[in-house]
Structure formats: structure tokens, C-alpha cells
């Protein structure tokens, strides 16, 4: 049974009232059915019937919109397709692909169980949030990446609170890769002569760190080199990233990688 409070709230709804949903943009009440349900129209002219309670909580969905990768909603139809908008949409599209595309996850299984916050399922909310994240402009002009791992040390969630913009070279380091099929840890390769090579990648180039008798020693050398590389990058960007990003980088747990 609907509470008296809910009935009172519903009775205050009027045709023409607008609501901002969590993932489908703005909708407008166009017909009052009862204190339980109303019809609303979205910016793409789609009309749906929704519960008043869902509308007030922002959970009203545009069921007529085609879902992107079965989850995302493009609620920005009537906007100018500027160069920045195209980049923003591509960024959003990439996040959804990494989280919801079965074909992508089959090729990149390390992204399995990654999630997108409910708010970011809608393109308009995503763009509004991402533009407020520091160094957003560098993503447009200098190719910085939106990272979900650094601030929460290996987070699986894409959201305003867990993401930050960082240089591409740093994001490559923080990205998680699976162990090789032979079971060796990352950064270690078994040579034909039976030695274990330690190899690190810096700015797209592989750097040989030496050959060792044991996999443990090769892995130790690799981890030391990787931590040093991480700290060098941290120092190089200290003045252009927020303090919390710098501290997270210095204290990042390499075992998460």
C-alpha cells in the first residue's frame, strides 16, 4: 500500500514538471495517470509510463532508447557534434565496451567484473561528471587516460569518485595484465637456455633487466625496476596532478598489478 507521504508527494506533481534521471537525462511529466503512475517524455520524444516513486528517485529509464552494449543510454540526441563531444562519447563508449562487451571481455579477460556506476550509464551524466575531473582538458589535448585503478588501488568501478586522468605512459603501467600461460609472473620470461629474463616496458619499449637463475630473483628485479619507474613518473607529474593522485601513485601496491 502506498504511504500517505508518497500520496501527498504524488499529488503535488503537475504536467510540465521536469526530472533529472540518473542515466537517461531529463524527462517531463506529460500526463498524470494517478498518484501511482505518470507518463513522461524524454528529450528524444520517447514516452514511457513510470512509477511516481521511481521518478522522484531518478530511476526512470527511457525504455525506447537503444542500449549501448546492453547497458548504456545515449540521451544526447539534440546536441552539436563538436570535436570535444565526439571525444567524450568515444571515451564513454570505450568504458562501456570494456565492461559489457562479451567479445571484448573474451579477448581481455582482466576486465571481467568491472562495473560502471549507475550515473555513468547515461551519456549526459557521464560527460557532466568527467568534465569536472581535474586534468580533463589534458585528455582532449594531450591524450591523458581516464584511470579507475590508481585512487582505489585496483578498483573495478568506473565512477566519478574512483577515476582520475593520468598520462598514457602511467596508465599502461597500472593496467592489469594476466600472467603468461606458462605461469610466470609479469615481467619474467624463460629463455631457451633455461635462464629467467627480467623485462620491463617503458613508453612502449621493452628494456632488458638481466638474466637470472631463479624466477623469484627475476621477478624481484622487475618489481624493483617497476616501482622506481612509477616513482619517477610520480615526481615528473607532481606539479600537474591533484595531491591525492600523487599520493596514491607513491603508495600504489604493485601486487595489485
Fold classified for 169-257: GCC-box Binding Domain (3.30.730)
Judging by DSSP bridges, how do beta strands 205-212 and 188-190 pair with one another? Answer: unpaired
Strand, helix or coil for residue 218: helix
Q: Where are the beta strands (DSSP E) in 70-226?
A: 72-73, 115-116, 145-147, 157-158, 164-166, 188-190, 196-202, 205-212
Other CB atoms within 10 A of residue 167 CB = 21
Length of the chain, in residues: 257
Give start-end residues of each CATH 3.30.730.10 domain in the chain: 169-257
Condensed to tens digits (0 to 9), the pLDDT of residues 34-46 reads: 888 999 998 878 8
pLDDT per position as a tens digit, 140-181: 999 999 999 888 776 789 999 999 999 887 887 776 555 554
Look up the CATH number of domain 9-64: 2.40.10
Q: What are the start and end residues of each CATH 2.40.10 domain in the chain?
A: 9-64
pLDDT tens, position by position, 62-89: 877 778 898 998 888 777 889 999 999 9
Q: What is the mean pLDDT of residues 91-110?
A: 93
Q: Are 131 and 91 in contact (CB under 8 A)?
A: no
Amino acid at each position: 500500500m502506498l504511504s500517505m507521504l508518497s500520496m501527498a508527494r504524488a499529488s503535488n506533481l503537475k504536467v510540465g514538471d521536469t526530472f533529472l534521471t540518473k542515466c537517461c537525462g531529463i524527462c517531463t511529466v506529460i500526463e498524470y495517470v494517478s498518484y501511482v503512475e505518470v507518463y513522461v517524455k524524454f528529450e528524444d520524444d520517447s514516452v514511457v509510463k513510470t512509477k511516481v516513486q521511481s521518478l522522484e528517485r531518478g530511476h526512470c529509464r527511457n525504455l525506447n532508447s537503444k542500449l549501448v552494449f546492453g547497458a548504456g543510454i545515449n540521451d544526447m540526441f539534440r546536441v552539436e557534434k563538436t570535436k570535444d563531444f565526439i571525444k567524450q562519447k568515444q571515451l564513454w563508449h570505450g568504458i562501456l565496451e570494456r565492461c559489457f562487451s562479451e567479445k571484448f571481455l573474451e579477448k581481455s579477460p582482466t576486465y571481467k567484473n568491472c562495473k560502471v556506476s549507475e550515473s555513468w550509464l547515461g551519456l549526459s551524466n557521464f560527460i557532466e561528471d568527467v568534465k569536472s575531473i581535474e586534468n580533463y582538458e589534458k585528455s582532449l589535448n594531450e591524450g591523458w587516460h581516464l584511470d579507475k585503478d590508481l585512487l582505489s588501488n585496483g578498483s573495478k568501478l568506473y565512477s566519478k569518485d574512483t577515476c582520475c586522468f593520468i598520462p598514457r605512459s602511467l596508465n599502461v603501467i597500472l593496467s592489469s595484465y594476466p600472467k603468461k600461460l606458462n605461469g610466470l609472473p609479469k615481467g619474467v620470461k624463460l629463455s631457451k637456455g633455461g635462464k629467467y629474463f627480467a623485462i620491463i616496458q617503458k613508453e612502449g619499449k621493452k628494456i632488458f633487466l638481466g638474466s637470472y637463475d631463479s624466477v623469484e630473483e627475476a621477478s624481484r628485479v622487475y618489481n624493483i625496476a617497476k616501482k622506481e619507474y612509477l616513482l619517477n613518473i610520480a615526481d615528473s607529474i607532481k606539479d600537474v596532478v591533484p595531491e591525492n593522485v600523487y599520493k596514491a601513485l607513491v603508495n600504489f601496491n604493485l601486487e595489485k598489478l
